[in-house]
Amino acid sequence: MGMHVNGRVTTAAGPHKRFEAAFSGKAFAPHRHDTYTFALTLQGVQSFDYRGACRHSLPGELVVLHPDELHDGQAGTEDGFCYRGINIAPTDLLDPLNGRALPFIQGGRTRDKELITLVVDLVRDLSTPLDPLHWQNALADLTEALCALDSGGNLTRQPDAAAVVAARDYIEAHLIDPIQMEDLEQVTGVSRWQLSRDFRAVLGTSPYRYVTLRRLDRAKACIFRGLSLAETAYACGFSDQAHLTRQFKATLGLTPKAWWKIIDTRTHGTIIQ
């Protein structure tokens, strides 16, 4: 049985994945994604199960979800909740991290004023695309703020970022083809075991899940353009429509139909004061 979702997601202008979302009741089934999600709670109580516990974010607090961590989302009260957020790919943090592994924020939420101020600045005005220089400066500041709050668990050795980037580039160039770890070993000259560990340290997820998520990104673009699910599955490397739907629901917490229903492609004109 499909999950009924009461809510909307309004996307921002420009290429960066900024959005405003409002939901009542159960918002998302358990799912994962390979980006950091920074979500500033604006109204209500944003509740989510994360790393074995139910967490609650109040207005003014910031949810920080690490890549590839299982989580869901629901309203903590009958009034529903609203938040603004931005998804940031670990690849955007490669340069400012300078070889460090991805930082982790314990508990998935924070009241840290510096980090909150940086995120507010990025999502303040969703009607105007971010200036490129603003974006680059924000990434540097955001990385340092995250590292200052890092609760540990990073690799003790420096990951091989060059090998990870080479593996990522190969994946993206062969996205609809069958991809094996042997292929990535040949491309990088690194053993599959080390590459898997370093891939997760640098990009926050496994090579297999990275392939799935990039195919789903392509699938969302196809659905947006009006392709049928069967056509989308064929164009994006899935074996059939049922395979696409299963992966969509397991990864994004929604079926393709439910996802399309809540997406509002109009940009949001409100500016956070």
What confidence score (pLDDT) does residue 251 get? 84
Which DSSP string do the residues of 235-259 spell out, in sequence order? HTT-SSHHHHHHHHHHHHSS-HHHH
Which of 195, 141, 148 is closest to 168 using CA atoms? 195
The answer, yes or no, to whether residue 265 has pLDDT greater than 80, is no
d(C-alpha 89, C-alpha 86), whole Å: 10
pLDDT at 156: 53
pLDDT value of position 155: 47
- What's the pLDDT band for 139 if we cut at 50, 70, 90? very high
Angle at 224 between CA 219 and CA 225, to 5 degrees: 100
Q: What is the mean pLDDT of residues 30-42?
A: 90
Lowest mean pLDDT among 15-29, 144-158, 197-211, 228-242: 144-158
pLDDT, tens only, 243-253: 999 999 888 88
pLDDT exceeds 80 at position 104 = yes
Q: Which of 40-44, 86-90, 258-262 has the lowest mean pLDDT?
A: 258-262
- Output the average pLDDT for the chain: 87
What is d(CA 121, CA 103) in angstroms, rounded to the nearest whole number? Answer: 21
The answer to whether residues 67 and 36 touch, using CB atoms and an 8 Å cutoff, is yes
For residue 270, pLDDT beyond 80: no
Per-residue confidence (pLDDT) for residue 157, from 0 to 100: 64
Please give the angle made by the CA atoms of 75, 223 and 178, to the nearest 5 degrees: 105
Whole-number pLDDT of residue 3: 46
pLDDT digits (tens, 9 = 90+) for 184-238: 999 999 998 889 889 988 898 889 889 998 999 999 999 988 999 999 999 999 9
d(CA 224, CA 222): 5
Whole-number Å distance between alpha carbons of 198 and 8: 36
Looking at residue 267, its pLDDT comes to 64
Q: What percentage of the chain carries pLDDT values higher than 90?
A: 50
Q: Which of 9-23, 24-38, 182-196 has the lowest mean pLDDT?
A: 24-38
